[in-house]
Structure 1
Amino acid sequence: MTDVANEAAADPADDLVEISTDGACLGNPGPGGWGAVLRYRGKEKEISGSDPQTTNNKMELTAAIEALAALNRPSTVILYTDSSYVRNGIMKWVAGWQSNGWQTRDKKPVKNVDLWQRLLEEEKRHTVEWRWVKGHAGDHYNEIADTLATSAAREVASGSVSR
C-alpha cells in the first residue's frame, strides 16, 4: 500500500486527511500505548507506539502529535479523538496556559507542558479541525485506534518492545 503520510498534497486545500487517535494505559500511571489511523484518498495507514511508564493523558496527546508529525506536507486535517482532555486542551485551554506562562488559572504548572508544546508545533504545520467522538461506542476508526493503542501498551508491558 502506498504510504499515506508521503502522499499529502502540497496544497492543503486540495486534500483532506482524516485521523482517528487513541491512547491507552495499563494502570494510570503504567505501561501505555498510542494508536492512530490516517485516511487519505481511500487509503489507510495505521501507526502506534508505546511508553513503559506513562499516563493515559500523555498517550492521548502523543497519538495526536505522532499522527500529525507523520504527515510530510502541510495538510487539511480532521482529527478525531475520544479524549476530552486533548480536544478541550487544544481548543479552549492552551491559549490561556500560554499567556499565563504555562500555568493554570490556579497558578499551578500545566501538566504535560512538553507534549502540549509539541502538539502546538505540529498543529501549526496543518489546518486542523478537532472533533470529539465517544470512545467505545462503535466508531469504526476509533475502535481501530483503541486496538492499536491497547496492543502497544500490552506489548511494552510484556517487555516484547522497547520504546
Structure 2
Amino acid sequence: MKKIEIYTDGSCLNNPGFGGWAYILSYKGHIKEGFGSEANTTNNRMELKALIEALKVLKEPCEISLFTDSELLAKSVNEWIFKWIKTNFKGKKNVDLWQEYIKLSQIHSIKAFWVKAHNGHKENERCDFLARNEALKLQNSME
C-alpha cells in the first residue's frame, strides 16, 4: 500500500456562513492541492469536506496519515466514527458527509494526527490560506 500524507483545513466566515476547504496530498515528494467553497456552511463541514475531496483523488488503497488542526475531525476519524455507525449517527451533525467519508475511506487505512493551528506548520498554514481564500472569494462574489 502506498503511504501518503493528507493535510486538510476548513474555514468559515461567521460560522455559519461562507466556507472554504483545502487539502494537500503528499506522496514521495509529489504534491497535489485541492480547494473549494460553499455558502451557508460551518467550519466543521468544511474540515470534513476537505478530507472527503482529498480521498476522491486517490485511485487505489493507501495508508494515509491525516494531519488536521481540527481536534473534532481527528478524534472522529480515529475513535468516534465507529460508535456513530453502530448507533446509526443518532443525534450527530453532518451525517451526509460522514456517510460519504465512510464510503470513500473503506479501502484505506487512515490515522489522523492533530496539529496546532497557526503554529508554523507549513502544510497546515498553506491549507488555512487556501481555505480562507476560497471562503473570501465566494463571499466577495455574492456581494
TM superposition score normalised by structure 1: 0.83
CA contact (8 A) 2:9 2:46 kept: yes
Counterpart position of 2:53: 66
Give the match's secondary structure for 1:44.
strand
Determine which structure has more spread, i.e. the larger CA radius of gyration: 1
Counterpart position of 1:84: 71
2:20 is the counterpart of 1:33? yes
In the alignment, structure 1 segments of 5+ residues that lack a partner are 1-11, 104-108
Give the CA deviation at 1:96: 1.5
Residue number among 120, 124, 127 corresponding to 2:109 in the alignment: 127
Structure ranking higher in helix proportion? 2
Give the CA deviation at 1:61: 0.4
Residues 24-81 of structure 1: CA deviation (Å, up to 9, x unaligned) = 0011000000001111111111100100110000000001111111111111211101
CA contact (8 A) 2:77 2:111 kept: no
Q: Matched residues, percent identical?
A: 42
Give the CA deviation at 1:101: 2.2
Counterpart position of 2:129: 147
Give the match's secondary structure for 1:28.
coil
2:97 is the counterpart of 1:110? no
Mapped partners of 1:131, 1:122: distance in 2: 19
Mapped partners of 2:43, 2:18: distance in 1: 9
Give the match's secondary structure for 2:18.
strand
Counterpart position of 1:7: none
Aligned length: 142
In the alignment, structure 2 segments of 5+ residues that lack a partner are none
Residue number among 19, 22, 29 corresponding to 2:9 in the alignment: 22
Q: After the TM superposition, which parts of structure 1 deviate over 2 Å for at least 4 consecutive aligned residues?
A: none
Mapped partners of 1:73, 1:93: distance in 2: 25
Mapped partners of 1:100, 1:40: distance in 2: 35
Mapped partners of 1:98, 1:128: distance in 2: 17
Mapped partners of 2:98, 2:7: distance in 1: 18
Mapped partners of 1:81, 1:127: distance in 2: 16
Counterpart position of 1:6: none
